[in-house]
Amino acid sequence: MSEEDQLKYYKTNYHLLQQEFNAVETYLHQHQADEWLLSGYAGIETQLERLNTIQHDITGKKTEKQVCISRFDTTKQALKSINEEIKHISQKQSQVEHSIQLKQQELETLLNGRLVREYLAEREALYREMVLLQKISDLESERASLEDGKPCPLCGAKHHPYAMGNIPEKNECEKKIADLSILIEKTNLIVEDLNKQEQIKLKYHNEQVEAEKKQIALSGECQQLEKECSVINTQLSCWIQEYEDVKQSICDKLKPIDNIVELQDFNASELRIRLKERMKNWQKQKQKKEILAQQKNDCESKVKTITAILETHSLSLKEKQVELSKLQVELETLKNERHVLFGVKKADQEEQRLTESLADAELSEKQARTSYISVQQQLRISESRISSLKTQITNKKSVLNKKAYEFKALLAKSLFPDEQVFIDARLSIEARNKLQDKEHELERKRAELEHKKKDREVRLATEVRKSITSLTLDQLESQQKGYDDTFSQLRDNIAELKHQLTENSEARERVKEKDNEIEAQKNECLRWQNLHTLIGSVDGKKYRNFAQGLTFERMVSHANRQLEKMTDRYLLIRDEKEPLALNVIDNYQAGEERSTKNLSGGESFIVSLSLALGLSHMASKNVRVDSLFLDEGFGSLDEEALDIALETLAGLQQEGKLIGVISHVTALKERISSQIQVIPQTGGQSVISGYGCKKVLG
């Protein structure tokens, strides 16, 4: 594109940019209220996130409430069932107790106030009396010689109760024994029934105890679930009220922005999207205005530059035409020399052909060298293998000769005339294996029989050495009764201990559940404690620092946008340990983070200037920062940094801000047209000169 076309293009583009710039300014004026979102959106977004959190918590609590109500209904139904079960068990237990009372009355009536052992002793005495009567009957001839008043030849007693005519009847004793046996048998049957009834009673008692435990547990669970439902209802009420308060607060804050939200159709997600869109549109239009202003300046500068270039080109065109003629003559001369040296051949084709031939030769040489190395390696491996096999053959031959000599010596001592006869006489491998297996089986059986024999001998000797008892039958029966009582007592103790162990296990489970609940509550308390540690203190300092940190972070964000226009080396960032302190990321040193204290004077001025510009963009809704005064600092800047700083300040001036610079730098005087100079005079006085300055300063 020629300079004339470029000049025409830039002039047309300038008019288009001016029209677009006017449209952007119109939009910014009509949507001036949207500028508040730059500073206020963060708080609105925090409240919207809080609304989402509260809504999520409300949904979760409602679900938890339904689960709690369902559990309460289930537990209540289970409690009703266990109450009916206890009632049913009590009825069965009453029936068993009534049956036991009847059996006990029957037993008392049968025994007639006596004990079973008394009847057993009486029957035993009758048995002994029967034996004595039998002996008396056997001594009939001796009893015939006894006379009352004369001494007995055996014992010397003069009184003879079993003399002739004094022998009791055996039939009477047998009848008494039979009656006692029937009574004892009936008693045993009744006692056996009583034991069975007692076992059934104990079973029902255990079932009742277990049911009562379940009743207590279910009753406690019902009370706990009722408390949980009450707590959930309270929390739901608090969260719903908080939700309404936050929603009302958001609506109050957003009322100035063209009625962007109404309470009746409040939607947090849609509102966030609309606010972001409005804020992005405002920022986009604001940035577009800056870009258009810069583009307008660029177009204006290009128009001036192209105009100057056209004037310069018109002067140098004639000089270039003369130089072109000379170069054409030299070109013709060089073409003739090349034709003489190379003819009609093409140099590129010849060079490519020679290069391909050289590459083919190098490839063939490389393949041949690789093949040679591979063959050499295979040869060395084969030679090593041959040498190893020869050594093994030599060793095997010596061992074979030794074994052959030993075989011949043994063959000479044996009954076999030669080797072939020995080979023919050998058993087959299967026969030898069968004989060997049979030998092992017989040896195993012999060892097993010997073990059984020794075991039987030991057991026999043990039984022989045992002296089972030396007590009488009465003593053994008395001892057995004591053992039975002890066994019954131990059985009751075991049942009681099992019951205690069961109660202990259930108590441990309940304690474990409580421990889990305590641990969960501790975690919840720890979460609130951490939150209190982060933002809570008595004097409000932590929360104040936290809020100041958020504002400081926004200011750093605005400052980074201004700093990016001046230099691409540094990026401001908050210090992690001191939230209100600044560090810089040096992009020229692989993103290393360092303190702002290590910056040079010029770098510190640029950072300070970007912070001041960032702070000016954080004006509130009713207060705007339209004036900025810079006192010194330009003397520490090099020429490039000074140009960047002045371009940035010029951009702010185009936005309608008043920039005041106080400096002694001469370069600034040459670039700033509107100046107020302070001229020192004698006597400690100074004179100011410039636009609107007429008075003398003392």
Structure-block tokens of residue 338: 């090349």
pLDDT band for 447, please (50, 70, 90 cuts): very high
Structure-block tokens of residue 345: 């051949």
User: Looking at per-residue confidence, does 57 or 341 come out higher?
Assistant: 57
How much is the pLDDT for 299? 78
How much is the pLDDT for 442? 92
What does the mean pLDDT of the chain come to?
Answer: 77
pLDDT greater than 50 at residue 264: no
pLDDT greater than 60 at residue 544: yes
pLDDT greater than 60 at residue 38: no
Concatenate the DSSP letters of all residues of 16-77 into one string: HHHHHHHHHHHHHHHTGGGGHHHHHHHHHHHHHHHHHHHHHHHHHHHHHHHHHHHHHHHHHH
Give residue-wise pLDDT tens across range 306-345: 777 777 777 777 777 777 888 888 888 877 777 776 666 6
How much is the pLDDT for 263? 41
pLDDT greater than 60 at residue 170: no
User: What residue type is assigned to position 627 of the chain?
Assistant: S
Give residue-wise pLDDT tens across range 365-402: 888 888 888 888 888 888 888 888 888 888 888 888 88
Q: Are 21 and 293 in contact (CB under 8 A)?
A: yes
Give residue-wise pLDDT tens across range 641-660: 777 777 777 766 666 677 77
User: Looking at per-residue confidence, does 260 or 414 come out higher?
Assistant: 414
pLDDT greater than 50 at residue 296: yes
Q: Are 668 and 637 in contact (CB under 8 A)?
A: no
**Beta-strand runs (E) in 510-591:** 570-574, 582-586
Measure CA 400 to chain center. Answer: 72
Q: Distance (Å, rounded) from C-alpha 585 to C-alpha 564?
A: 12
Tokens 């706990």 -> residue: 224
User: Looking at per-residue confidence, does 68 or 467 come out higher?
Assistant: 68
Tokens 């289970």 -> residue: 78
Give residue-wise pLDDT tens across range 106-156: 878 877 777 777 777 777 777 777 776 666 665 555 555 666 666 665 565
Q: Distance (Å, rounded) from C-alpha 639 to C-alpha 625?
A: 29
Give residue-wise pLDDT tens across range 613-634: 777 777 655 556 667 777 766 6
Give residue-wise pLDDT tens across range 562-593: 888 777 788 888 887 777 788 888 888 887 88
Looking at CATH, the fold of the domain delimited by 34-150+161-254 is given as: Helix Hairpins (1.10.287)
